[in-house]
Chains A and B, each alone.
Chain A
Amino acid sequence: AQKVTQAQTEISVVEKEDVTLDCVYETRDTTYYLFWYKQPPSGELVFLIRRNSFDEQNEISGRYSWNFQKSTSSFNFTITASQVVDSAVYFCALSEAQAGTALIFGKGTTLSVSS
């Protein structure tokens, strides 16, 4: 069975601090996709990144970076120099590669950035 664990329920930081959100996943599939989404108070899900299981390269997009390590089944997300606008709930999610399969979400991490 597939499972996504986000052990950090809530994180509070002060602006300009770096923060890492942890994500550990479980799957028996050899081909799968990992995602990160941001959910601001409005509720709408904002897509951040998708990674397939064959691509372990770390990725950087502005202040955001992701570290994918298959050896530890982790897909961690780091925000550098956090800003108040980064305050939201962040979800890590997993899906099989097969068409027609749903995303399975972790429980989410609530990030609060204060000024």
Chain B
Amino acid sequence: GAVVSQHPSWVICKSGTSVKIECRSLDFQATTMFWYRQFPKQSLMLMATSNEGSKATYEQGVEKDKFLINHASLTLSTLTVTSAHPEDSSFYICSARENQGNYGYTFGSGTRLTVV
């Protein structure tokens, strides 16, 4: 079945530094990928929709300059948290939707970011 690989699984960084999270579709092409953020005991909130070869579409309230998304190929999307602050500490999870077949959604295993 479809597999999405997300790295790293967890990362600890200092305030003010940047962190890059990668999301790769391993056995299918994903024109569109999605990035979610999940705070403890809360639901998954859509941050942005990443489209291959074009600019990402951000949800209301998500700072595009802080959360940089790049979708340079049909199998790779990256999320960079710039100038991270402790309030950015969260669980980030990506998802890719297949372009054909049953159009199912496949999720990465998530990245737990802790900013200290």
Contacts and interface: CB of A to CB of B under 8 A. Distances in A.
Interface residues of A, number: 20
A102 B95 CA distance: 9
Majority DSSP secondary structure for residues of A touching B? loop
B91 A43 contact: yes
Given A45-B93, A99-B97, A99-B99, A35 B105 contact: yes
B51 A100 contact: yes
Majority DSSP secondary structure for residues of B touching A? strand
Interface stretch (A13-21, A55-63, A104-112): A104-112
22 contacts: A35-B105, A45-B93, A50-B102, A50-B104, A91-B43, A97-B103, A99-B97, A100-B31, A100-B32, A100-B49, A100-B97, A102-B34, A102-B49, A103-B34, A103-B95, A103-B105, A104-B46, A106-B43, A107-B42, A107-B43, A108-B42, A108-B43
Interface of B: 31-32, 34, 38, 41-46, 49, 51, 91, 93, 95, 97, 99, 102-105, 107, 109-110, 112
